[in-house]
Amino acid sequence: MQQTQAHSPGRDRDPFIDVIRALCVLAVISQHWLMPVLAYENGHLSTGNALASPGWWIVTWLTQVMPMVFFAGGAANFFSFRPTKSTRVWLRSRIARLLVPVVPLAAVWLLLPHVLIGAGVPEQPVLLAGRIAGQLLWFLAVYVLVVALTPVMYRWYRRYGWRVVGVLAVCALVVDVLRFEAGPAIGFVNALFVWLAVHQIGFHYADGGLRVRSGRPSAGLAAVGFGLTAAAVFFGPYPASMIGMPGAPVSNMSPPTALMLSLAVGQLGLWLTLKPVITRLAGRPSAAAVLRWCGTRFMTLYLWHMPALVMTAGIAIVGLGFSTPTPGSPMWFAVAPLWIGVSGIFLMCFTGVFGRFEFRRRSGTASEMGPGRIALAAVLSAGGLLGLAAQGFVFPGNPLAPVLWVALVLTGLLVVRERTVPEAVAGQGARIVPVQLGVRHEDAGDGNVRGEDSRTGSAGDEDVRTGNVRDGDVRAEDSRTGNVRAEDVPVLARHGSG
Rounded-to-integer distance, Cα 377 and Cα 386, Å: 14
What is the pLDDT, as a whole number, of residue 6?
Answer: 43
CA angle 59, 143, 50 (to 5 degrees): 25
Q: Is there a contact between 61 and 245 (Cβ–Cβ < 8 Å)?
A: no
The strand pairing partners of 256, in sequence order, are 253
Q: What is the Rg, in whole angstroms, of the alpha carbon atoms belonging to the chain?
A: 23
The answer to whether residue 43 scores a pLDDT higher than 80 is: yes
What are the distances in angstroms from CA 148 to CA 68, 199, 450?
19, 12, 22
First CA to last CA across the chain, in angstroms?
A: 53
Q: H or E stretch including 148?
A: helix 137-148
Instruction: Please write the tens of the pLDDT for every residue from 260-270.
Output: 999 999 999 99
What are the distances in angstroms from CA 475 to CA 326, 440, 460?
54, 16, 15
Q: Is the pTM of this model over 0.85?
A: no
Alpha helix positions (H), 214-329: 215-235, 259-273, 275-282, 285-295, 298-313
Rounded-to-integer distance, Cα 53 and Cα 195, Å: 28
Cβ within 8 Å of residue 474, ≥6 positions away: 435, 437, 451, 454, 485, 486, 492, 493
Rounded-to-integer distance, Cα 420 and Cα 407, Å: 23
Instruction: Please write the tens of the pLDDT for every residue from 456-477.
Output: 334 444 443 334 444 434 343 4
- If you average pLDDT over every residue of the chain, what do you get? 82
Taking alpha carbons only, the member of 98, 152, 141 closest to residue 371 is 152
Instruction: Please write the tens of the pLDDT for every residue from 257-315.
Output: 999 999 999 999 999 999 999 988 888 898 889 888 888 889 999 999 999 999 999 99
Half-sphere exposure of 454 (CA within 13 A, CB side): 29
Neighbours of 449 (CB within 10 A): 18
Rounded-to-integer distance, Cα 44 and Cα 124, Å: 6
SS3 of 424, please? Answer: helix
* Lowest mean pLDDT segment, chosen from 68-72, 219-223, 361-365, 482-486: 482-486
* Lowest mean pLDDT segment, chosen from 41-50, 135-144, 180-189, 481-490: 481-490
